Amino acid sequence: MQAAQRPPAEMRVILVCALLSPLSLARACPKECSCNSNNKVVDCRGRGLYDIPRRLHPETQELYLQDNRIRGIGSMAFREIPLVRTLDLSNNSITSISPTALLGLRTLQRLSLAHNSLRELDKRLLVPIHSLSHLDLSHNSLGGLPGAMGDSLKNLSYLGLAHNRLTRLDRSLMEAMTLLDGLTLRGNPWRCDCQLIGLKLWLETYVFKGGVMDEVLCFQPEEMKNKDLQKVPYELFHACMATSYHYLFANIHHLESERLLRGHTHGNHANPSIHALHVPMAMGEGFGGGGGGAGGGMTECEPKQKQRPVNLRHAIATVIITGVVCGIVCLMMLAAAVYGCAYAAIMAKYQRELKKNEELAAAQGADHATADDKEPLENAIA
């Protein structure tokens, strides 16, 4: 009976491994860091490190390396911790990152490189990561983001780009981030020219769908300095008015198509197949990324349609007002033409009557002169 109650050998092995796992994590902790074996967190903040610490436990899920003196990250620098989910490298002196530095981190969700000295990012840096949802690149010296990086950012729900040296962003790069619902862009020297119209339209669509962001203040040209790009009327882009209106009405058409699609979805509740097709799409777009809104549309149970961006309404109102003004001007010109013709006719009639009166007066004067000449002659004969 005692032998029957003894647990099997496999169960004893599993029990021993479970008891020794926290101990092994504690023993694998680098001397420069402090480790929590319960939640698998390694804290190396403010330790004056110049490099990534070695002998990290492979089960580490969170690694904090901010407030150190790290200047560069080499190839496969985190190969010892393939299960890490949060990696914080903020407030260091990082100037370069190897394109293969993050190779093997397939479960990474949050990456912070804020407050460093990065000038550029290689387009291959984030390729091996498919689960990244939070990326903070603020307070660096980035002059742009590679357009080819869009596929690596498609699952982002937050992107921090504040206080860099960005003058423009590729619209195709932003459109790839369909789950984005948090964005910071302030503190960059934005050049508000024709090449930024694409970003302006994307921002209006992004805000229309419920996305949250700060502001994009123009730095150049001088006449637009310190103006919020979202509030700059399209009429101020003099050099590219045709292009801007093309983008504007294309964007309006796109939003109108989405509205009609949502209305079509609401009208097909009686058809189970159509309802099953559209509802998961709305749910995925509305709630994916933690708050949703920046996906492809609004949710099924939204109580009312959100207002269009102010700039869209202003642009449409400007077109309508311009048409009304042009119509009024045309009417005034027509009235002036009618008045001119009437005035010319009256003056012509007046001139004819005046000339006729002058001829009549001249004829009467001639008759009087003839009569005066006859009287002296008759007196002389008498």
Cα separation, 257 vs 250, whole angstroms: 10
pTM summary value: 0.59
Amino acid at 36: N
Give the pLDDT confidence score for residue 253 in this predicted structure: 57
Q: Which residues pair with 42 in a beta bridge?
A: 35, 63
Per-residue pLDDT of the chain (382 residues; tens, 9 = 90+): 444 444 555 444 444 444 444 444 555 799 999 999 898 999 999 999 999 998 899 999 999 999 999 999 999 999 999 999 999 999 999 999 999 999 999 999 999 999 999 999 999 999 888 899 999 999 999 999 988 888 889 999 999 999 999 999 988 889 999 999 999 999 999 998 888 888 888 999 999 999 999 999 999 888 888 999 888 887 766 556 555 455 555 566 556 666 666 665 555 444 433 333 333 333 333 333 333 333 333 333 334 444 555 566 677 888 888 888 888 988 888 888 888 888 888 888 888 888 888 888 888 777 666 556 555 545 555 4
Q: φ and ψ at 300, to 5 degrees?
A: -65, -35
Crossing angle, helix 197-208 and helix 241-266, to 10 degrees?
Answer: 20
Give the pLDDT confidence score for residue 152 in this predicted structure: 87
Give the pLDDT confidence score for residue 1 in this predicted structure: 40
Q: Which DSSP category does 123 fall into?
A: T
Name the nearest CA neighbour of 66 among 90, 86, 94, 32. 90
Q: Which residues pair with 191 in a beta bridge?
A: 220
β-bridge pairing 218-220 and 190-191:
parallel
Give the pLDDT confidence score for residue 297 in this predicted structure: 39
Interior angle at CA 261, CA 258 and CA 264, nearest 5: 155
Q: Which residues pair with 35 in a beta bridge?
A: 42
